[in-house]
Amino acid sequence: MKIRLLPTSTRDPAHLHYLTTFLVNGEVAIDAGGLGTYATPAEQSRVRDVFLTHSHLDHTATLPIFLENVIEEGRDGPAVHGSAATLASLRQDLFNDRAWPNFVELKFGERRLLHLHQLEAEKPVSVHGLTITPVEVSHLVPTFGFVIEDAQGSVVISGDTGPTTRLWEIARAKKNLRAVFLEASFADERADLAYRSGHLTPTTFLREVVKLGRRDVQVHAFHLKARWSDRIVAQLAALKVENVFVAEIDREYVF
Ligand SMILES: [Zn+2]
Ligand SMILES: [Zn+2]
């Protein structure tokens, strides 16, 4: 399984990250924060399924741009998968004709611009040789982490989350778990803000790694708020945990 965290800074893309999108095998996107500004329309067109963790803008911001870029004569647009709450937000807050035209109802000729597909917690979905299982995590709004599996192994992408439990119960039970991508949004000095907004700091990040209880699994930190990313990187390094890394932006990980 190939996983890439798409870059979103035009000046310092290796270190600064603003909007979340992971590409899986170039065909499936987890979140659409930076999907619509990635590469070319032709490359974006390979993505036929977008799984949204939740409705916050850093995860959905360029979904409309992506959907516009991949419009093609003679075929329907991609499937956009999310919880009932996330899909309701897309309808009410994004595709409402004010923020963006109502792409849910608009058509290109006879073709749909997208299909909305509702996810249920812990009900796996199979797409492009992958099995993707949404698991509820702990954030300001209903949010899923995803367990992504193929024949070789599985990878967990946490979504935005504060301290959580169910995701680790499920991850621990996966014998073939290869890697976890876990958010680390704020530096420890902002622990109050992290707590109130349902995010992690390096200290609480480490507690989640302990809950996972698997030293044989790589844990890659992502979603480092750009304003404090140097501090977060330093604090993660100071943890001195051998299986904890900062996710490299735009690297193609192969698991
Ligand atoms: Zn969020
Ligand atoms: Zn976020």
Residuewise pLDDT in 10s, the chain (255 residues): 999 999 999 999 999 999 999 999 999 999 999 999 999 999 999 999 999 999 999 999 999 999 999 999 999 999 999 999 999 999 999 999 999 999 999 999 999 999 999 999 999 999 999 999 999 999 999 999 999 999 999 999 999 999 999 999 999 999 899 999 999 999 999 999 999 999 999 999 999 999 999 889 999 999 999 999 999 999 999 999 999 999 999 999 999
**In the prediction, which pLDDT does 116 show?**
98
Burial 130-165 (b: 16+ CB within 10 A, else e): bebbbbbbbbeebbbbbbbbbeeebbbbbbbbbbbe
Q: Which ligand is nearest to the CA of 225?
A: 2
**In the prediction, which pLDDT does 175 show?**
86
Q: Ligand 1 centroid to 254 CA: how many Å?
A: 27
Q: At what angle do helices 229-238 and 202-212 cross, to 10 degrees?
A: 50
Q: Ligand 2 centroid to 184 CA: how many Å?
A: 10
Q: Ligand 2 centroid to 35 CA: how many Å?
A: 14
Dist CA 177 CA 218 (whole Å): 9
Distance of CA 52 to the CA centre of its chain: 7
Q: Ligand 1 centroid to 55 CA: how many Å?
A: 7
Q: Ligand 1 centroid to 72 CA: how many Å?
A: 31
Q: Ligand 2 centroid to 73 CA: how many Å?
A: 33
- What protein residues have CB closer than 5 angstroms to ion ligand 1? 56, 160
What token pair was written down for 29?
């996107």
DSSP 8-state assignment for residue 144? E
Amino acid identity at 136:
E
Burial 99-111 (b: 16+ CB within 10 A, else e): ebeebbeeeeeee
Q: Which ligand is nearest to the CA of 162?
A: 1
Q: Ligand 1 centroid to 97 CA: how many Å?
A: 23
Cβ atoms of 62 and 19 within 8 Å: the answer is: yes
Amino acid identity at 33:
G
